[in-house]
Amino acid sequence: MTANVFRFGFVPAVPLSEAELTLHLAIYAAEGLHGEARVRLDVRYQLDQPANAIIVDGETEVGATLVKVFTHLLIRQFGEDGFQVRRVEPGSAGTPEQAVPARQRAAATAAA
């Protein structure tokens, strides 16, 4: 079975906070396609600050949409050489451990 959890690793010149804001923009786009309720239920991600990375769960239809939109926005914002993306095995180190509603995370980041 193919893993659909993705690790986005960023070059040191890309601040993780900027990459996370781009992820929030992708989350808003996913809401436009799938609705706010489905996004709240299905989107999971985790920041890996020491590694300057974001892990996104793409196992659901909404998650897969998010991964595609996020990848596109990252290419536009940071260029193809600004990040790497790879699949990781579900349950391995670096996968989202807990479901935190995407909107709640976005609000917490905006307040910081």
Distance CA 43, CA 40 (A): 6
> Looking at residue 109, what is its pLDDT?
44
Say how far residue 83 (Cα) sits from the centre of its chain. 13
pTM recorded for the entire structure: 0.80
Which domains, ranges and CATH numbers included, belong to the chain? 5-111 (3.30.70)
> Looking at residue 3, what is its pLDDT?
78
> Looking at residue 1, what is its pLDDT?
53
Distant-in-sequence, close-in-space partners of 12: CB < 8 Å, separation ≥ 6 = 52
Per-block average pLDDT, block size 10, for the chain (112 residues)? 87 97 97 96 96 96 97 97 91 52 48 43
**How many CB atoms are closer than 10 A to CB 63?**
22
> Looking at residue 59, what is its pLDDT?
93
> Looking at residue 98, what is its pLDDT?
44
Distant-in-sequence, close-in-space partners of 48: CB < 8 Å, separation ≥ 6 = 7, 54, 55, 94
